[in-house]
Amino acid sequence: MFHSALRRTVTGRSICRLPATLRARMAQPISGAAALRRTQQLSAHLQTTRTMSTSGRASSNSPSPPSTRAAKLPTFNDPYSQTEVLQHKHETGRLLLLNRPKALNALTLTMVQAITKQLLAWEQSEYCNVVILKSTASPRAFCAGGDVKRVMEQVAANDPSYAQFFEEEYRLNYLIGTTRKPVVALMDGITMGGGVGLAVHAPFRVATENTMFAMPETAIGLFPDVGGTYFLPRLEAGLGKYLGLTGERLQGASVFWAGIATHYVPSERLPALEQRLCELPSDDPDVVNAAIEEFSEEAAKLTDPETNNTYSLRPYLPVIRRCFSHRSIEAIVAALEKEAKDPQIVVSKKSHPSITPKAQAEWAARTLATLQRMSPTSVLVTNELLNRGRSQSFGQCLQDEFLTVQALTRSHDFTEGVTAKLVHRGKVEPKWNPATLRELVQSEVFETYLRPKFPALDLSPAAYQTTLDARISQPDATKESRGGQEERDSGLNLGGVRKKKAPRSAMERLNQTPDLASRQDRPADQPLPYGLVTANEVFDLLRNPSLRVTEEELYAYFNHKFEGKIGVDAKLRIILDAYCDVKPDATVETLP
């Protein structure tokens, strides 16, 4: 599949101009079952593979002779390893490594600015085909969130710059979600809060057995920001509201089944996956997708209970849909109370076999108790922002979030939540004000936090000017971790002789590069790309009054649409069991 996609997308670039070692590897397709073996082979190969000389240029007639220095990813035992974001180049791949392991890579303003500058540079580089976001703290953490303790301190000191962190963080989220370069986020470890913002807007989001996903902001008096009000409403059947309001954690393959990750790759295969991505001669997203599919966990292992890859929320999907598909928070609470009190009536005939009425009642009671522990103000604000986000574009969601976050970070509940959860580490319970949902006056909350009079978020190309500095005058220049040595692009040439161009100023490139001057927002009705089939897509098909679809036709249709993506059959089984009914004539209908 990878090679057929590759042949379709490399027109205009002669394969014979690629390095001989790359041609040889491309001629060897990898099946899912053989990915682990190739991981070991490629890991060994990394020690001896050819690299382009950093001081020379590639010849247009013949490959450069092998370098005496083996290609390798950065090491972190040198003076430059204290840098919070590391950059690395390998062939056509570019890697950004979050490097604040003691803080689980909690984002700082410096880190946000560094990532933004490098993405802007690589977006304009003709030698960059893919950008990989990863962590030096894996498998413990990808990124545990933003440094909200610092924000709380700035607010307490009446420092007006407290909003700058969110302003530049949201611009980075927008850049990741709209850049033309394929971005692959390797969520190998804790991925929470601001880390979710780095990952979920990338077109390719890879989960491993180490992934732990959560958006726990309502527990600290905030809301699921960093574009969460765009991403969460596009999850299926009330799932986004459930995750956003309760802060529920998902681990491993559950992140894939929920539609948050686009692929599930065992962590032991990541080195070989990175190597393959760095070899791609095209920046076509379909080629990148096919390459990741080669290393994805096999379908049989994804559905084998003994592999611990099953979907932890599967037994509760029907009740999540019944409770969290409501628009108002009052209706959500009432539905949970009903499920907790009388499960015999509300248990669906299509409920998962492993769930009993008692287990469902206990789940509803636990979920209700969790919701009641969160900041009531945050819960109400979050619910309304998620409602609005369903019909807004990505940029509109971020702009609304920026207004709200400036107001909420000044509130009593934010200071109380951060102090209790992050300063005292949960040893004391926060004292919310108001203390319960019933005490809230909705009109006052909306006026204070959803229509505040604060500066708006500017997502225009000129807004990124402040992130550009002199280093951007060398678009593909990057500082490697090896001793802090500054290196220029290796000169890898896939299309002929590299021609010298007159240097342009940072603002000239900002205004003249189409990708920056006319960045395309992601519209409200755009589905999340490259992930699994969702229940919403199945509902749209089944609700077409002119169609009567059988179960067999449903499987055939979506397997064709998703081109045999690993996991589609299993996800369809989950959807049919949770939300649909198969009639005696084999036609499929959605349950009310």
User: What are the residue numbers of the active site?
Assistant: 146, 194, 217, 225
Per the listing, tokens 């803080």 go with 103
- What whole-number distance in Å separates Cα of residue 305 and Cα of residue 302? 8
- What whole-number distance in Å separates Cα of residue 332 and Cα of residue 313? 18
- What whole-number distance in Å separates Cα of residue 189 and Cα of residue 191? 6
Q: Which of 366, 493, 452, 369 is nearest to 62 (CA)?
A: 493
Count the neighbouring beta carbons within 10 Å of the beta carbon of residue 33: 10
Question: Cβ neighbours of residue 341 under 8 Å, at least 6 residues apart?
Answer: 361
What secondary structure letter does DSSP report for 419? I
Three-state secondary-structure class, residue 323: helix
Q: Which of 217, 211, 288, 221 is nearest to 253 (CA)?
A: 211
Instruction: Please say whether the beta carbons of 588 and 549 come within 8 A.
Output: yes
- What whole-number distance in Å separates Cα of residue 290 and Cα of residue 25? 15
Alpha carbon 299 to its chain centroid, in Å, reads: 22
Question: Cβ neighbours of residue 65 under 8 Å, at least 6 residues apart?
Answer: none
Three-state secondary-structure class, residue 213: strand
Instruction: Please say whether the beta carbons of 88 and 267 come within 8 A.
Output: no
- What whole-number distance in Å separates Cα of residue 313 and Cα of residue 316? 5
Tokens of residue 318, six digits: 């029907």
Provide, for the chain, the percentages of residues in helix, strand and coil under a 3-state DSSP scheme, each rounded to the nearest 5: 50, 10, 40
Instruction: Please say whether the beta carbons of 70 and 46 come within 8 A.
Output: yes
Instruction: Please say whether the beta carbons of 70 and 48 come within 8 A.
Output: yes
HSE-up (13 A, CA, CB side) for residue 274: 27
Alpha carbon 188 to its chain centroid, in Å, reads: 12
Bridging pattern class, strands 183-187 and 190-192: unpaired
Q: Which of 314, 291, 91, 102 is nearest to 182 (CA)?
A: 291
